[in-house]
Amino acid sequence: MDDLRNQTELDQRWDIHTERQIAAAKGGVAAVTLLNSGSWLALLTQADKLVSLNNDTGAVATVVMCWGLGAFFGTVTWLFVYLSTVFQLQCDFYRGQRGYEIALEMSRGLGLLCALAALALFVKGVVALSGLLA
């Protein structure tokens, strides 16, 4: 009887832990996407002033491209968060099935890669913009 109760408690704790991980991932992805898309929109509203200040449309285009791609990768990260949630559910339900575990690890890895790409593109855009204003 104690083993069954202990297993039930472990399952409940695991469910709470999984929900917290998903909430943290969603918050991080929202931050990355908002950071890039907000910067991109702000830059688009001021692009004509930046071009007239510096007369370098290529540099402005680089910043727009970096932040636009960063917003894209941030949005794609949402897809991988969703897939990770689905595969985590499948792993919990069908324990021991290696295919779901591999899919879970791949979706997590690709999501992390997209989030890092979004952050890197934001930083590259900031550096390019600071070069414009210098």
What is d(CA 117, CA 36) in angstroms, rounded to the nearest whole number?
A: 11
- pTM given for the model: 0.72
Model confidence over 11-68: pLDDT tens digits?
A: 777 777 777 777 777 777 777 777 777 877 777 777 777 777 766 677 778 888 888 8
Question: In terms of residue numbers, what domain contains 86?
Answer: 2-133
Model confidence over 72-130: pLDDT tens digits?
A: 898 898 888 888 888 888 887 787 788 888 998 999 999 999 999 998 998 998 888 88
Total structural domains in the chain? 1
